[in-house]
Amino acid sequence: MGIARTQDEESDRRDFEDFRKTLVALAAMENSKENDDFKGLMSPDIASVDHRDKLVCVTSGVSFLGLALVNRLLLHGYSVRILVDNQEDVEMLREMQVSGEMMVACNNKISVVTAKPTEIQGLMEAFDGCRGVFHTSAFADPAGISGYSKSMAEIEVKASENVMKACARTASVKNCVLTSSLLACIWRDSYQPELPTLVNHDCWSSESLCIDKKLWLALGKLKAEKVAWKIAEEMSLKLTTICPGLITGPEFSHRNPTATIAYLKGAQEMYANGLLATVDVIRLAEAHVSVYEAMNKTASGRYICFDRIIEGDEEAEKLATEIGMPAHRICGNSFEFIPTHFQLSNKKLLNLMSTTFRNCYAQS
């Protein structure tokens, strides 16, 4: 990835991989009531989980980012309620059980609930007792090929609206962290007079530009974040949002294909403008925890999060190889626009992060 890994980082990665099997097994336990294949897996100790002093909920808790975030929260001493929201997760867990990959562990700081993002009442019941909610908003393409469609963008917006309303109506929930995307910041009209070259947390993408270019992931993240801020203001919900670059990490293109494919639509233009940035999933998860913990002090608003900007053909080719796509899809030379090199800044997040983790982020 172009970044030297310290011994601690490699240890974090091993911890993440070891913990993944435990988390998906726990999600399977939640569904055991309705799926005979999982009967007998539920542990009485896990079934009685109720740690409300530091209890938080993570939506899309078995996603690539969701798993990393749950792990970091547990390492920080939180009790975590994992939200499972679709049958595809159940099928994934069944396959893991059959293949022998699944392990069952007893951890009294984890619980699992099932709720649909379309049902506010169900979300409220899932959030009840939690002090905070992390809405990681991870959506998968049912067909598994198109990446992210226009209809999925609308689903994401509605889910964001429902989650925010559920948070605001749940008395125990004090804070919410929404995972947006850097794509919600960078797609601006390059021909706009006096367009600032500094791209930071104050920048918003153009909805019309996203539609014109059919950048559906950018559109979905943009509209989902905007509706979240609207509801937060109307319903007095304490909200922060994190806008990460392309999320990378162990086997990221295989384990997070929908977001990876969709994020890189328009990659040539992002690359030419110096706006193609990535972030390691573990570092992103740590950023979520840091922002959440600072919400009762100084944290507010939006935070851009990245640890690398893809600069130069060598880095672009390496990223393309990791994803398994032709390098020209990222660093091609044929453009229908006039490239302008922008400066991408995550200084606001760097200022918030503790000294220990501040060195893990690359400042533009």
Catalytic residues: 221
CB 301 within 8 A of CB 291: no
Strand-by-strand arrangement of the 79-84 sheet: 110-114, 79-84, 55-58, 132-135, 175-179, 238-244, 301-305
Nearest Cα to Cα of residue 99 among 24, 155, 30, 6: 24
Contact 266, 152 (CB under 8 A): no
Distances (CA, A) of 310 to 250, 270, 304, 321: 18, 9, 16, 13
Give Cα separations from 113 to 19, 62, 125, 194, 265 (angstroms). 19, 12, 9, 49, 34
Cβ contact 188:250 at 8 Å? no
Phi, psi dihedral angles at 84 (to 5 degrees): -105, 130
- Are the CB atoms for 57 and 134 separated by under 8 Å? yes
CA-closest candidate to residue 260, choices 322, 180, 179: 322
The two tokens of residue 317 are 């080719």
Q: Could you give the 3-state DSSP secondary structure of residue 114?
A: strand
152: Cβ contacts below 8 Å, ≥ 6 apart: 139, 141, 216, 220
Q: Are 218 and 187 in contact (CB under 8 A)?
A: yes
Structure tokens at 19: 């913990």
Q: Buried b / exposed e across 304-316, counting CB within 10 Å, b at 16+?
A: bbbbbbbeeeebb
Strand partners, 199: 344
72, containing H or E segment: helix 64-75
